[in-house]
């Protein structure tokens, strides 16, 4: 059992879920006129653009949860192929490091998501 991977998986799952919930509340609630998928955005965005923005927003959540599941598996079960396990961990580390840097750069450090993303990268590589 690797507690660092388990903690990283938990942090990433919380970030992913917070991303969806807070996005719905803070971003998409004002764009929703009817139904689940928001459709309002004029004059800046047309309906198809708002729909793909919403879909992509939640795609990031799904992918974050999938990466969290991989880290959970790395932390809780023995791997017979150590090289594959190390590669999966390195991919997760690069993905979360790049994501943290992207959020930091795009928001000039004002959006707090870069902190847990960088923490996940550190936990994965601290193994």
Is-contact 126 89, C-beta < 8 A? no
- Tell me the average pLDDT across 38-48: 89
Rg of the chain on CA atoms, in Å: 17
Count other Cβ atoms within 10 Å, centred on residue 12: 29
CA 60 vs. chain centroid, Å, equals 6
Supply the pTM of this predicted model: 0.89
Can you give the pLDDT at residue 79? 87
The pLDDT of residue 35 is 86
How many domains would you assign to the chain? 1
- Region 97-101: what's the mean pLDDT? 97
Cα–Cα dist 71/122, whole Å: 13
| pLDDT score recorded for residue 41 | 85
Residues 122 and 59: their CA atoms lie apart, in Å, by: 24
Cβ(28)–Cβ(54) below 8 Å? yes
Taking alpha carbons only, the member of 93, 101, 103, 99 closest to residue 8 is 93
**Domain extent for 15:** 3-125
Distance of alpha carbon 80 from alpha carbon 30, whole angstroms = 50
């Amino acid at each position: 059992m690797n507690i660092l991977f388990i903690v990283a998986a938990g942090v990433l799952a919380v970030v992913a879920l917070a991303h969806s919930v807070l996005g719905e509340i803070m971003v998409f609630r004002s764009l929703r006129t009817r139904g689940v998928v928001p459709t309002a955005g004029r004059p800046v965005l047309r309906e198809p653009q708002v729909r793909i923005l919403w879909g992509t927003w939640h795609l990031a959540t799904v992918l974050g949860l999938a990466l969290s599941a991989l880290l959970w598996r790395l932390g809780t079960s023995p791997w017979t192929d150590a090289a594959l396990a190390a590669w999966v961990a390195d991919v997760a580390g690069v993905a979360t490091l790049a994501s943290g840097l992207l959020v930091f750069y795009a928001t000039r450090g004002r959006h707090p998501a870069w902190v847990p993303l960088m923490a996940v990268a550190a936990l994965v590589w601290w193994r």
